[in-house]
A and B are shown apart, each in its own frame.
Chain A
């Protein structure tokens, strides 16, 4: 499940952050990606929501620290 999510997330991350070679790992965070600011973060979230057909709560997003948290969150939403 986790690998499938990463596979689906990778092109989204690459497109949003304009980094064609970006690898999505569990520890990847805003500190590692130059273009990861509040605007691109929001576009990332809304794209993930529409691609995966899920809806995040504000408090879930606030607690999210890295890509690993996002992957886990998507996983629980899909189950």
Chain B
């Protein structure tokens, strides 16, 4: 019995993640209570808040207090912004919120990075390494809360939130607190005020999303990482250039399957609760260029950066016309890279995407010219292929823990590439290869197939749904070995 209670307390070594048995038990128990109060808005929201705060405590310990304090600060600053008579007063309160939010983010996430970079610039190894633990999900909940402040300031939200508990619930809402989608206050907060609706179709869709999410995570992401991609990235020099190239393709597919699988689970869990969370992915590998890619990949982050950083930057630089946009693009992607992690590999990854977007801007006329002389299908195919090639080569920076590893992978790809080894590689790594093909093929299937399956599943009887879900869970659980990997985006 005591062990059971111990399991419920915070333990840094066993965080509560969506793909754990403990989460499954706790969520089922919570849901059993929650569903009985589904129509009583106040009780329902308090239950959601209590479970959200417990969930965060279980993962991050007493950082839950920091989370509540930060939400409290923005709740009152939001009111102050609304009640300000002048624009300059508004700006002052907004500046305080930015300092509190980004200050906390910088302290927990970047202090050691700044210290190390400072000493690195002087050519010596840093003698100091502070023991700072980063609160999980801080990059995500800080952005969530800031969206509320920014929207109030620019009057996209007409009135400040008056219910303190609902605001804390918005910031701490457990499905998306750890790794997004980064919901905007203007989308999520109004839902907490409404009577939730939960139709058979929504339940069917939710379970379908949770199962496909788990499938993507366990069968594609973890399998690819464990059986091929991570091996290559652990020692690129032990593999051929061709294998390094395949590993960079595999890394892109792995990160997609991992993060979009995670997001599917989040959206599914939120849907079971009666909440619609914004989507994060829309078939990103169909992108025809990197601008298009960022409309399809980690959409809530891209939209956040677009609305609150890129657009204000272009506004202020509008007298520079095209050059203003180019500067704004580069700054936005530099920040995006830095947001992903306190490491130069992420910064360079962000910059590479920034340069690709700048290329999209400056080459528009030339591309329009090529489009006129090449058949549409061929142009489309090469656009998609070259975009994926760029994504895979740039993700090497994202996937490598350090610049040295990235350099080795690039060295192998660009100096030791021999396509005649393809047959040998496929026979040696037939399963990872098949999975990569499968992941891409699934990516290219029409949305109607997906909708058809969801509709069929939704229409089944409760018993049939339960049996199918149970079988799926069993299969996934069989494959889910004890050395299962954590979700990639939980590190940010």
* Total contacting residues, chain A, CB less than 8 A: 13
Residue of B155, B312, B318 near A45 (CB, 8 A) is B318
Residue A39 lies at the interface, judged by CB distance under 8 Å to chain B:
yes
Of A19-27, A54-62, A69-77, the segment with at least 4 beta carbons within 8 Å of chain B is A54-62
Alpha-carbon distance A61/B312, docked complex (angstroms): 10
B contacts with A: majority SS: helix
> In the bound complex, do residue B321 and residue A46 qualify as a contact, i.e. CB atoms below 8 Å apart?
yes
Residue of B156, B307, B325 near A39 (CB, 8 A) is B325
Which A34-48 residues have C-beta < 8 A from chain B? 37-39, 42-43, 45-46
Question: What string of 1s and 0s marks CB contacts (under 8 Å) between B362-384 and chain A?
Answer: 00000000000000000000000
Which B314-372 residues have C-beta < 8 A from chain A? 314-315, 318-319, 321-322, 324-325, 361
Nearest-CB distance from A30 to chain B (Å)? 13
Q: Which residues from A are CB-within-8-Å of B307? A: 62
* Total contacting residues, chain B, CB less than 8 A: 19
> In the bound complex, do residue B154 and residue A39 qualify as a contact, i.e. CB atoms below 8 Å apart?
no
Residue B31 lies at the interface, judged by CB distance under 8 Å to chain A:
no
> In the bound complex, do residue B155 and residue A63 qualify as a contact, i.e. CB atoms below 8 Å apart?
yes
Alpha-carbon distance A8/B292, docked complex (angstroms): 32
Q: Which residues from A are CB-within-8-Å of B325? A: 38-39, 42
Given contacts A38-B314, A42-B314, A58-B315, contact A63 B156 (CB under 8 A): yes
Q: Which residues from B are CB-within-8-Å of A37? A: 291
Residue B310 lies at the interface, judged by CB distance under 8 Å to chain A:
yes
Residue of A42, A43, A49, A59 near B154 (CB, 8 A) is A59
Residue of B156, B312, B321 near A43 (CB, 8 A) is B321
Which B192-239 residues have C-beta < 8 A from chain A? none
Q: Which residues from B are CB-within-8-Å of A42? A: 314-315, 318, 321, 324-325
User: Could you list 16 A-B pairs, sorted by A, with CB under 8 Å?
Assistant: A37-B291, A38-B306, A38-B311, A38-B314, A38-B325, A39-B361, A42-B315, A42-B324, A43-B321, A46-B318, A49-B318, A58-B311, A58-B315, A59-B153, A63-B154, A63-B155
The 5 closest A-B pairs by CB, nearest first: A59-B154, A46-B318, A39-B325, A42-B314, A58-B315
